[in-house]
């Protein structure tokens, strides 16, 4: 009987199975109620008492080894099945609807490209800022209304830390680290504590430009604005500048363009004036230059800023600002061919 068990041990050691059916056949042959091991267990009662200990050890070894071999083969098949792909990777993929860039991203890129052709490079900065870069360095008085809680988000328990209300903070950071000539454009998201409605939001996007060098004049600013308006809205676009006030520029102006819907003739969109305001601008205030370590006696510069949502509304006549941040696929699909 020992010779029979030793022979079966060699067989079990060399067991192989090409598939699950063959594996099951091996299990039945060796481990089922009528299998080899069970038959040997039945014959064990007839073994002489002086041989029972030795035969029993061999028999237990056979049972354990057969069970282990069957388990190992089963685990091998399970691993192979887990890595098996049930579809043809060489087959053409199912057609998926193509996406599109967000309208704000489209307009932002257009604006950056236009100023890029004028030699401006892109500069970026943090959205969580300090009072110095957002207000003080830009010539905001200590009692300026923009510092009030109704306009600015302040970080709790840190009154000097705010969410930036404009990307002008990027300009001051660049001027602190770099001497003129400086020619940058600063796109980014800004935050103001306003009620959300179809015409206002607590966050929106701006693009601001800054040019500082020797002998920069208001004429340079006007020429850059005219080039920008014609490139973005068409060669027939006209501009006009109206005096205004900003703490960080002097003189300051707001720029209107001829209505691109009615061609300046007057319509409900432009309130029958023929003009639509799009941005604020002006010559950089000498105090701002001095605050940032630039000698205002040697250098001058101009700055301008606009809301990207405002420009997008003019280009695509989007009547509700909330649509820009709601991620409604039906709204976004309208701009599939816009880029």
276 located within any domain = yes
CA distance 85 to 154: 54
In a domain, 180, yes or no: yes
Pairwise CA distance, residues 145 & 138, whole Å = 14
Closest CA to 70 of 39, 34, 110, 29: 29
H-state helical runs in the chain: 2-13, 20-31, 36-43, 52-82, 103-116, 131-134, 168-177, 218-233, 286-291, 308-316, 329-332
* 75 inside domain: yes
Residues 166 and 309 in one domain: yes
pTM: 0.67
With respect to residue 95, please indicate whether it lies within any of the assigned structural domains.
no
CA dihedral 307, 308, 311, 317 (to 10 degrees): -120
pLDDT value for 56: 78
Distance of alpha carbon 28 from alpha carbon 15, whole angstroms: 13
198 is a domain residue:
yes
1 token code pair: 């009987």
Q: How many domains does the chain have?
A: 2
Would you place residue 150 in the very low, low, confident or very high pLDDT band (cuts 50, 70, 90)?
A: low
* Residue 89, domain member (yes or no): no
Tokens linked to 285: 């205030």
Residue 90 within a domain:
no
* Last-in-domain residue among 53, 82, 111: 82
**Residues 192, 74 share a domain:** no
- 253 and 199 share one domain: yes
| In a shared domain, residues 313 and 196 | yes
Q: Are residues 159 and 18 in the same domain?
A: no
pLDDT in tens, 47-103: 777 777 887 787 788 888 888 888 888 887 666 655 555 666 676 666 666 777 888
Q: Within this chain, do residues 65 and 116 fall inside the same structural domain, yes or no?
A: no
Of 33, 53, 82, the last residue of a domain is 82
**Is pLDDT above 70 for 212?**
yes
Domain end residue (candidates: 82, 112, 140): 82
Whether residues 242 and 201 fall in one domain: yes
Here the tokens at position 187 are 């796109």
The answer to the question of residue 94 being in a domain is: no
State the number of CA atoms in the 13 A half-sphere of 124 facing the CB.
Answer: 7
Tell whether 115 and 16 lie within a shared domain.
no
Instruction: Say if residue 195's pLDDT is above 60.
Output: yes
Shared domain check, 300 and 197: yes
User: CATH number for the domain including 295?
Assistant: 3.30.930.10
List the structure tokens of 198: 């179809």
Are residue 135 and residue 66 in the same domain, yes or no? no
Closest to 303 in 3D by CA, of 190, 219, 209 = 209
Structure tokens at 256: 């209107």
Whether residues 68 and 152 fall in one domain:
no
Are the C-beta atoms of residues 210 and 184 closer than 8 Å to each other? yes
Give the separation between CA 240 and CA 329, rounded to whole angstroms.
37
CA–CA distance, 276 with 255 (Å, rounded to integer): 8
Q: What would the pLDDT profile of 103-140 be if each residue is shown by its tens digit?
A: 899 999 999 999 999 999 999 999 999 999 999 999 98
Same domain assignment for residues 237 and 136: yes
Please give the residue range of the domain that contains residue 21: 2-82
């Amino acid at each position: 009987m020992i010779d029979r068990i030793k022979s079966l041990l060699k067989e079990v050691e060399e067991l192989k199975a090409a598939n699950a059916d063959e594996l099951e056949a091996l299990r039945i042959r060796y481990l089922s109620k009528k299998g080899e091991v069970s038959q040997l267990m039945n014959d064990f009662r007839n073994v002489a008492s002086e041989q029972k200990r030795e035969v029993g050890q061999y028999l237990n070894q056979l049972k354990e080894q057969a069970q282990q071999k069957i388990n190992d083969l089963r685990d091998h098949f399970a691993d192979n099945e887990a890595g098996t792909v049930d579809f043809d990777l060489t087959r053409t993929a199912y057609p998926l609807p193509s996406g599109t860039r967000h309208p704000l991203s489209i307009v932002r890129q257009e604006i950056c490209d236009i100023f890029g052709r004028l030699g401006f490079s892109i500069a970026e900065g943090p959205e969580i800022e300090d009072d110095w870069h957002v207000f003080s360095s830009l010539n905001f008085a200590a009692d300026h209304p923009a510092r009030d809680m109704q306009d600015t988000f302040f970080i709790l328990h840190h009154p000097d830390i705010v969410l930036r209300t404009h990307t002008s903070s990027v300009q001051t950071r660049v001027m602190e680290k770099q001497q003129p000539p400086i020619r940058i454009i600063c796109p980014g998201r800004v935050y103001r504590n306003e009620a959300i409605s179809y015409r206002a939001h607590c966050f929106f996007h701006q693009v601001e430009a800054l040019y500082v060098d020797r002998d920069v004049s208001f004429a340079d600013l006007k020429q850059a604005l005219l080039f920008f308006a014609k490139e973005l809205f068409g060669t027939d676009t006209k501009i006009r500048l109206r005096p205004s006030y900003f703490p960080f520029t002097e003189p300051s102006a707001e720029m209107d363009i001829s209505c691109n819907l009615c061609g300046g003739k007057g319509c409900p969109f432009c309130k029958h004036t023929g003009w639509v305001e799009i941005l604020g601008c002006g010559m950089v205030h000498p105090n701002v230059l001095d605050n940032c370590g630039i000698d205002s006696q040697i250098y001058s510069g101009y700055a301008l800023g606009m809301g990207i949502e405002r420009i997008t509304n003019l280009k695509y006549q989007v009547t509700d600002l909330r649509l820009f941040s709601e991620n409604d696929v039906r709204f976004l699909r309208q701009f599939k061919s816009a880029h």
